[in-house]
Amino acid sequence: MPPELEHRAFASVEELWTWLGENHRTHPGLWVVLQKASSPTPSVSFHDLLEAGIAFGWSESTRRANDTTSYLQKFTPRRGKGTTSARNAAIAARLEAAGRMTPAGRTALGY
C-alpha cells in the first residue's frame, strides 16, 4: 500500500499556484483541505484547484470528509494523456489564451 499523502491547505489561489510552480514535477500529490462555504477559514475553492491542476498537469479525484467545516480533495499529477472532458478542454483553452498554461499542463493533456 502506498504511503498516505500529506494534507495541505491553501488560503489563496496565489499560494496554490506558487506551490504548484515549485512542486508539480516532483511531488507525489496531496489531500488538499477545502473549506465549506459556511467556514470562516480562507481557502481555495474546488474550481481554483481544478484550474490550477489543468494548468500544471495535475488532476483532482477522490473527495472525502475531513471535519465539520472542510473536506479533503485528492490532488495528484495526471498519469495519462488525453483524458480531458469538454469542460476541462474549455478551461485549458481559456488558460492558454490568458498565458497561464504551463508546458507540463500541455503535455499532460496531450497538446
| Res. 51: pLDDT tops 80 | yes
Residue 16 has a pLDDT of 98
Residue 71 bridge partners (DSSP):
34, 65
Q: Kind of pairing, strands 70-77 and 6-9?
A: unpaired
pLDDT band of residue 85 (cuts 50, 70, 90) is: confident
Return the H-helix or E-strand segment holding 55.
helix 46-56
pLDDT band of residue 1 (cuts 50, 70, 90) is: very low
Question: Which residue in this structure is represented by grid cell 498519469?
Answer: 79
Question: Which residue in this structure is represented by grid cell 483541505?
Answer: 33
Least confidently predicted of 17-31, 74-88, 90-104: 74-88
| Res. 27: pLDDT tops 90 | yes
**CA nearest 16: which of 34, 37, 38?**
34
| Whole-number CA gyration radius for the chain | 14
